[in-house]
Amino acid sequence: MTNLSKAKIGLIGAGWWATANHLPVLVERDDIELASVCRLGADELQQVKEKFGFTHATHDYMELLETPGLKGVVVASPHTLHYEHALAALKKGLHVLCEKPLATRADQARELVKEAERQGVELMIPYGWHYSEFIQEAKRRMEEGAVGEIEFVMCHMASPVRSLLEGKPFLSTGGGAGEIMFEPAADTWADPIVAGGGYALAQMSHSAGLAFWLTGLAAESVVALTSAPTSKVELYDSFSVRFAGGAIGSFSGAGALPDNQPFQLDVRIFGSDGIMTVDCDRARLEVLRHDGDNFSMDLPTDAGEYFGGGPTTNFADIVAGKTTTNWAPGWAGMRAVEMIDAAYRSVESGKSETV
């Protein structure tokens, strides 16, 4: 396939996760041209350009966005820069795969979703669990009304990222990433200003995005507690949420699993007709209904492992015109940020905060 027939993708922010996960997937595609890459550090930029065969490299993301024929952009910069970088790309009419969290404020996340709609392009968040077969089956069953009217949601996540949130060398190999080219920069996770927050933004944006995608709910108000026993950003989160329509829920997060352990992720959705359990670390999808029409999916023990390459492949397929299906849409990431924004404000005020 010639370069003329390849779809051009640019990358803004070529650090740890982009070089360990996104680029190894994209470089294997014969229908994608890695057209331009942007990151700080002259030596590091050249390393990425050479290793992955980028046509062009720059320190200026606006220069990247002027690449002739560009179709899509992966935004993998620090959390507090996602909004600026993703919005600029969307305004150019480009498809965008934006790392989680979509933004660090609710109003910013809403603007990104609206801009994608205005431009008629896809905005995707790399939520790897959405690409597991049983998660997609759970989504299908929820859309068919498996639990009836949703009344209560429980969502818990824990991760082996304590060292990251404490600003120490990263020891975990979780997440399914490949070869580590660059170590995670300490300030992008552990500095409250650069990171925008702690475990909620860094990891619960995953679990909350999944819960909101499965349910279609929207948070209305949040009461929250967080704690940071050994770090400047929070390690632990506990949110009580009221959703539009009257349902309530609890969202919890812990950034302190041992480094040799996989993620925990458990979503339970209670409704008028029954309950759905989506359990990733124990690989379970189960629906228990009041009428006895129950369902349990037969799953291998590794079915719930994080699939880092799923979103990147989906994005490449969209950019190359091979699909219009977006399994991890921006609105789910927006709903997660709306809740987390209100939760952080609740921690500051000591009272319930509206979304």
Fill in the DSSP letter of residue 214: H
User: Rounded CA gap, 354 and 86, in Å?
Assistant: 26
pLDDT in tens, 212-256: 999 999 999 999 999 999 999 999 999 999 999 999 999 999 999
Give the DSSP letter string of 85-117.
HHHHHHHTT-EEEEPSSS-SSHHHHHHHHHHHH
Q: Do the beta carbons of residue 146 and residue 287 sit within 8 Å?
A: yes
User: Rounded CA gap, 330 and 98, in Å?
Assistant: 9
Interval 134-149 mean pLDDT:
98
pLDDT in tens, 8-54: 999 999 998 999 999 999 999 999 999 999 999 999 999 999 999 99
User: Rounded CA gap, 255 and 203, in Å?
Assistant: 8
Helices marked H in the chain — which ranges?
16-17, 23-26, 42-52, 61-64, 82-91, 106-119, 133-143, 162-165, 187-190, 192-195, 199, 205-215, 309-319, 330-349
User: Rounded CA gap, 242 and 224, in Å?
Assistant: 12
Q: Which residue has the tokens 């979103």?
A: 311
Do the strands 56-58 and 70-75 form a parallel or antiparallel pair, or are they unpaired? unpaired
**Res 175 pLDDT > 70:** no
**Res 297 pLDDT > 90:** yes
Q: Do the beta carbons of residue 119 and residue 91 sit within 8 Å?
A: yes
Q: How many CA atoms lie less than 13 Å away from 56 in the CB half-sphere?
A: 19
User: Rounded CA gap, 52 and 32, in Å?
Assistant: 12
**Res 287 pLDDT > 90:** yes
Query: pLDDT > 90: what percent of the chain?
Result: 91
Q: Do the beta carbons of residue 70 and residue 94 sit within 8 Å?
A: yes
| Domains of the chain, first to last | 3-128+311-328 (3.40.50.720), 131-304+335-354 (3.30.360.10)
**Res 74 pLDDT > 50:** yes
First-to-last CA distance in the chain? 48
Written as one letter, the residue type at 220 is E
Question: Would you place residue 182 in the very low, low, confident or very high pLDDT band (cuts 50, 70, 90)?
Answer: confident
Do the strands 7-12 and 70-75 form a parallel or antiparallel pair, or are they unpaired? parallel
**Listed range (114-118, 177-181, 267-271) with the worst mean pLDDT:** 177-181
Q: Do the beta carbons of residue 207 and residue 263 sit within 8 Å?
A: no
Fill in the DSSP letter of residue 201: I
Question: Would you place residue 173 in the very low, low, confident or very high pLDDT band (cuts 50, 70, 90)?
Answer: very low
**Among residues 58, 53, 70, 96, which one has the least CA distance to residue 8?**
70
Question: What is the per-residue pLDDT for 188?
Answer: 86
Q: Is 174 exposed, middle or buried (0-12, 13-18, 19+ CB in 10 A)?
A: middle
Fill in the DSSP letter of residue 300: -
**Res 177 pLDDT > 70:** no
**Res 176 pLDDT > 70:** no
Question: What is the per-residue pLDDT for 353?
Answer: 98
- Own/partner pairs for 345-354, CB < 8 Å, 24+ apart? 346/222, 346/223, 346/224, 346/239, 347/224, 347/225, 347/226, 351/223, 352/221, 352/222, 352/223, 353/221, 353/222, 353/223, 354/220, 354/221
Question: What is the per-residue pLDDT for 172?
Answer: 52
Mean confidence (pLDDT) of the chain: 95
Question: What is the per-residue pLDDT for 178?
Answer: 57
User: Rounded CA gap, 308 and 115, in Å?
Assistant: 26
Interval 150-157 mean pLDDT:
98
User: Rounded CA gap, 239 and 276, in Å?
Assistant: 21
User: Rounded CA gap, 109 and 128, in Å?
Assistant: 20
Q: Do the beta carbons of residue 209 and residue 103 sit within 8 Å?
A: no
pLDDT in tens, 310-344: 999 999 999 999 999 999 999 999 999 999 999 99
Instruction: Tell me: cis bond preceding 311? Omega within 30 of 0 counts.
Output: no
